[in-house]
Amino acid sequence: MFSFTTMKNTTSLINAINYRRSVRVYDANKKIDSAIVKKCIQQATLAPNSSNMQLWEFHHITSKEILKNLAEACLGQSTATTATEMVVVVVRKDLWKQRTKTHINYLTKLFSVKPSNEYSKREKFALNYYKKIMPFAYGDFFGIYGYIKYAISWLTGIFRPTYRQLRKSDMRVVAHKSAGLAAQTFMLSMAAENYDTCPMEGFDSLRVKKALQLPTKSQVNMVISCGIRKPEGVYGERFRIPFESIYKHW
């Protein structure tokens, strides 16, 4: 499905970055190819993500009925009501055990050419990472264990630099950061195809979950409308605050 490339083609990336705008009105007469949208989702899965845990799901919606339900759940925003298709990025932090198992199986198979007592330091570390560190980071009991880990890291932090973001709320941020990167990778991939998108956080998460029959423990990261822009669908020139005011060079 994927291939490595060493080709340096920054022009197309810059074009995609400039082309991407949040589009609020799509042209109902211009269809998009669902296969291309799917390809862009595949590209989104190549986004960097925390510990490569891939605690995400991408729901690609083309069904008219579900699109209608989602548009309502997105508070009737025009970008949702005029969308040709939608993609919902969902955080599945609850799948951490399954993901660690997948990693352990993958690594064990990868290293299986030799007995385990001959594993290199790096190989041992990789296996331990998924066997011990990930359960430590993601394991929790109603948020209580998270506070204990937080206290341990705070105490350790008095003596040496340590990782501190271990509470339930911190792990939620960790998972959403990665999902956000995947969402942006998807939108840039779409822009490279001259397809338009608009990320949305203005939605009723309960209704979105109901429309997609998502489990209670899942979290909706972003709903992304897709289509081809109408000229009036882009609300004016891009506005950004002066670069000098947000760029700090140390």
Ligand X SMILES: Cc1cc2nc3c(=O)[nH]c(=O)nc-3n(C[C@H](O)[C@H](O)[C@H](O)COP(=O)(O)O)c2cc1C
Whether 56 contacts 18, CB under 8 Å: no
CB of 247 to ligand X, least distance (A): 18
Q: How far is the CB of 79 from ligand X (least distance, A)?
A: 5
Query: What is the C-alpha to C-alpha distance for residues 184 and 163, in angstroms, rounded to an integer?
Result: 26
Comparing C-alpha atoms, which of 88, 89, 85, 3 is closest to residue 36? Answer: 85
Q: Which is nearer to ligand X, 208 or 212 (CB)?
A: 208
Give the residue closest to ligand X by C-beta: 202
Which residue number, 134 or 223, has a Cβ lying nearer to ligand X?
223
How is residue 47 written in tokens? 């986004």
- For 82-131, the DSSP string reads T-SEEEEEEE-GGGHHHHHHHHHHHHHHHHTTS-GGG--HHHHHHHHIII
By C-beta, is 42 or 77 nearer to ligand X? 77
Measured from the CB atom, the residue of 51 and 82 that comes closer to ligand X is 82
Residues that bind ligand X (CB under 6 A): 21-22, 24, 77, 79, 198-202, 222, 238
Q: Who's near 33: CB < 8 A, 6+ residues apart?
A: none
Residue 176 carries which side chain, given as an amino acid letter? H
CB of 15 or CB of 108, closer to ligand X: 15
- Cβ at position 59, least distance to ligand X in Å: 17
**At its nearest, how many Å lie between ligand X and the CB of residue 125?**
35
Q: Between 54 and 79, name the residue whose CB sits nearer to ligand X.
A: 79
Torsion region of 93: left, alpha or beta (phi above 0 gives left; psi -120 to 50 gives alpha): alpha
Least distance CB 107 / ligand X (angstroms): 34
- Least distance to ligand X, CB of residue 163, Å: 26
Sheet with 196-200, side-by-side order of all strands = 56-61, 85-91, 219-227, 196-200
